[in-house]
Structures are given as C-alpha cells and as structure tokens.
Amino acid sequence: MFKNLFSKSEPIKNLSPKEFEAGFKGNKNAVILDVRTVGEYSQGYIPNSINIDIMSPKFMTEVEKFDKSKEFYIYCRSGSRSYQACAQMLRAGFTTVYNLDGGIMDWRGEVKR
C-alpha cells in the first residue's frame, strides 16, 4: 500500500503478525520498536518493545543510538508510520528492518497495558 511512496530499492520487509512474532521470539539480536505516540503506547504495547514516537523531532537522534547490526521489528497502529520509520532507518544505514503489516490493530499476540 505504501510502497510507492518510497524508493523501490529500499528492502522493507512487511511481515504478517505471525511472521513478526516468530522473527523476534527468542532472538537476542532483535529490537522491537513501537513508533506510536506515548499516549498510544500507554494503551497497550508488545512486551519488551521500546517506544520512540516517529512524529517527534528527536526520532532519528534516538534511533541513531542503536547498534545498526541489530534486527529491528517496527510497528505502529496500522503499519503506515512504522513503514516510514523503516524507510528512514534504512536511509540512515540500518540493514535489517521489518514492518508489522497492519500494525498493532492486526496483532493477536500478547499486549501489555
């Protein structure tokens, strides 16, 4: 849906909720990144996720602190903002980023409140 907004050379991988969970479960190299607002995050989030609001002017400053060799599993409410975050991170030199297709709205795994 959002693929045409960005360069076709960006290897953003959209994962189904099952693929997304299978990718980070037990993976010591995985970072789960929630790019929603603090208010959205407080309503429920995937356990062990880190919240950095993509709409914040400090988003990339905070993201740049991460080890770029890690695998990033990124989600938002519907998959749009997380796709944008994936694109920004790839342009910044991150190599492995995954977008949760459908966002937390389609997530059927555990949610902490």
- Is residue 18 classed exposed, middle or buried when 0-12, 13-18 and 19+ CB atoms within 10 A define those classes? exposed
Query: How many other CB atoms sit within 10 Å of the CB of residue 57?
Result: 7
Going from the N-terminus, what domains does the chain have, and what CATH number goes with each? 3-105 (3.40.250.10)
Q: Find the DSSP H helices in 1-113.
A: 17-24, 38-42, 59-63, 80-91
The structure's pTM equals 0.90
pLDDT tens-digit series, residues 70-79: 999 999 999 9
- If you average pLDDT over residues 27-36, what whole number do you get? 98
Confidence band, pLDDT 50/70/90 cuts, at residue 3: very low
Q: How far apart are CA 72 and CA 59, in angstroms?
A: 15
Confidence band, pLDDT 50/70/90 cuts, at residue 1: very low
Task: Give the helix/strand (H/E) hosting 98.
Answer: strand 96-100
Q: How far apart, in Å, do the first and last CA atoms of the chain sit?
A: 30
- Residue 11's pLDDT is 76
Of 12, 74, 76, 104, which residue is the catalytic one?
76
76 an active-site residue? yes
